[in-house]
Amino acid sequence: MPIFPSVRVAGAVVALAALAATQASAQAPLESLRPELEARIARHRGTVAVSVVDPRTGESLSIRGDEPFPSASIIKLPVLVELFHQIEQRRLRWEDPLVLLEADKVPGSGILQHLTTPHHLTIGDAALLMITLSDNTATNLILDKVGIRSVWERMEALGLPRTKVHSKTFMRSTSVAPDSSARYGLGVITANEIARLLAMIYRGEVVSPEASRRMIEILEKQFYAEGIPRHLGDARVAHKTGSLDAARHDCGIVFSEARDYVLCILTRDNADRSWGLDNEAHLLIADLARLVHARLAPAAQE
**Mean pLDDT of the 261-271 span:** 98
Evaluate if residue 26 carries a pLDDT over 80. Answer: no
**pLDDT of 84-117, one tens digit each?**
999 999 999 999 999 999 999 999 999 999 999 9
**pLDDT of 60-91, one tens digit each?**
999 999 999 999 999 999 999 999 999 999 99
| Contact between 223 and 133 (Cβ < 8 Å) | yes
Domain with CATH 3.40.710.10 in the chain: 29-67+224-302, 69-189
Length of the chain: 302
pLDDT for residue 298: 82
**pLDDT of 117-164, one tens digit each?**
999 999 999 999 999 999 999 999 999 999 999 999 999 999 999 999
- CA distances (Å), origin 46, targets 38, 180, 264: 13, 21, 16
Predicted confidence band at 13 (pLDDT cuts at 50, 70, 90)? Answer: very low
pLDDT for residue 299: 66
| Contact between 138 and 129 (Cβ < 8 Å) | yes
| Contact between 266 and 41 (Cβ < 8 Å) | no
Which stretch of 15-24, 105-114, 224-233, 270-279 has the lowest confidence by average pLDDT?
15-24
Third-level CATH fold of 69-189 = Beta-lactamase (3.40.710)
pLDDT for residue 28: 73
Average pLDDT in the chain: 92
Predicted confidence band at 27 (pLDDT cuts at 50, 70, 90)? Answer: low
Torsion, Cα of 44, 50, 235, 78 (10° steps): -120
| CATH of the domain spanning 29-67+224-302 | 3.40.710.10
**Mean pLDDT of the 44-59 span:** 98
| Contact between 272 and 280 (Cβ < 8 Å) | yes
| Contact between 239 and 198 (Cβ < 8 Å) | no
**pLDDT of 175-217, one tens digit each?**
999 999 999 999 999 999 999 999 999 999 999 999 999 999 9
Evaluate if residue 14 carries a pLDDT over 70. Answer: no
Nearest to 247 by CA among 292, 291, 290, 280: 280
